[in-house]
Amino acid sequence: DADDLVKAVDRIMKHADGRRRMSVRANADTAEDAARARRFGAQGIGLCRTEHMFLGERRQLVEQLILADTDEEQERELAELLPLQRADFVELLEQMDGLPVTIRLLDPPLHEFLPDITELSVRVAVAEARGEKREGDLRMLQAVHRLHEQNPMLGLRGVRLGVVIPGLFEMQSRAILEAAAERIKAGGVPRVEIMVPLVANVQEFETVKQDIIQVARDVRSETGVHLEFLVGTMIELPRAALTADQIAEAAEFFSFGTNDLTQTTWGFSRDDVEAAFFSAYLEKGIFGVSPFESLDVEGVGELVRIAAEKGRSHRPGLKLGICGEHGGDPDSVHFFERVGLDYVSCSPFRVPVARLEAGRSMTGPR
Ligand code: PEP
Ligand code: MG
């Protein structure tokens, strides 16, 4: 009956857990996701995508931050965002107490936060035709035109946002570190890892890292709490993989973003492939399966292997994980075992499968 089945599954999971070398984490953005991930046996959070914390009502605050004209305006928006972010992180760290939590700094393609250009143009045109002056809309339209990109996925995203928008990554790092300090004061054990997305070269990572270190100094002296945390990077661009030895000099961990790495290695858009040509490729057998679903071992996988080797040649023991969708795909999990990653991270629902496959991968090549 159902009870026996549950017991049998439990035995299989225990068996797999006993064999596996890699740990299994989950991608989770909220305390609720984190609680679910723990129930499925996740040993930490491998990716918290902070952009998901700015949907709904908060979207407006980010929009205003991006479009702010003056430093004062920018500072005002950041000051409003800080306590909201801190509260998010306190909840998350509480839920994952004692386990590693990798929090990724903001990484949305910019257009996700900008007002729709067509809608705005129409509003301005209609107002003009009526002889009305809409100063605010007009200024907004100019700003949106200035920031408009043909390829937002290759545009002002990830670390580039941190470099271009003063105070943004500092605000997020402060929120993370203040949350960690609060947890420590409450007797908790926060294990924070701050992750920088879309890094292509070591200098841009280093620029952001120095800002984070300064924030940490400030938070330490303001709270009197001794904070320990890691600063690392995603490896999700071919250039980052190929210069991983340089990046490892500054980064304390790597997490492979195989979604973007697949997109940029093949040179096709994550968002547009399905409609454009994927079904024809699958039909003609050019792909057996989409490389977004199962890791392309010869191309994307080779970059992962090179980056792991180069990274560790420079920093022995460098912590390596994967947080792209492939982290929960059975065949891909076996590949990650072979190249020596420390953990895979996937959606909470795929955690049991990843645990099983990570255990099975210890029995030899598949
Ligand atoms: C990735 O690129 O694989 C990744 C995990 O980040 P995102 O999907 O959020 O771009
Ligand atoms: Mg990515």
Residue 285: phi and psi, rounded to 5, are 75, 15
The answer, yes or no, to whether ipTM is higher than 0.90 is yes
Q: Check if 29 has its Cβ closer than 6 Å to any atom of ligand 1.
A: no
Q: Whose CA is nearest to atom 4 of ligand 1?
A: 257
Contact 25, 320 (CB under 8 A): no
Give CA separation, 310 vs 315, 323, 327, in Å.
Answer: 9, 19, 21
CA distance 172 to 78: 9
> What's the gap in Å between 265 CA and the centre of ligand 2?
13
Q: Which of 153, 236, 304, 344 to mutate to test the pocket of ligand 1 (most atoms within 8 A of CB)?
A: 236
> pTM, whole model, 2 decimals?
0.95
Q: Could you write out the DSSP letters of every residue in 92-117?
A: HHHHTTTSEEEEEPP---GGGTSPPH
Task: Say how far apart CA 160 and CA 139 lie, in whole Å.
Answer: 24
pLDDT digit string, tens, across residues 71-82: 999 999 999 999
Token look-up 């809409």 returns 134
- Residue with CA nearest ligand 1 atom 10: 260
Residues near ligand 2 ion, CB 5 Å cutoff: 236, 257, 260
Q: Write out the E strands in the chain.
A: 23-27, 45-49, 100-104, 191-196, 229-235, 253-256, 319-322, 343-346
Dump pLDDT digits (tens) for 12-71.
999 999 999 999 999 999 999 999 999 999 999 999 999 999 988 888 888 888 888 899
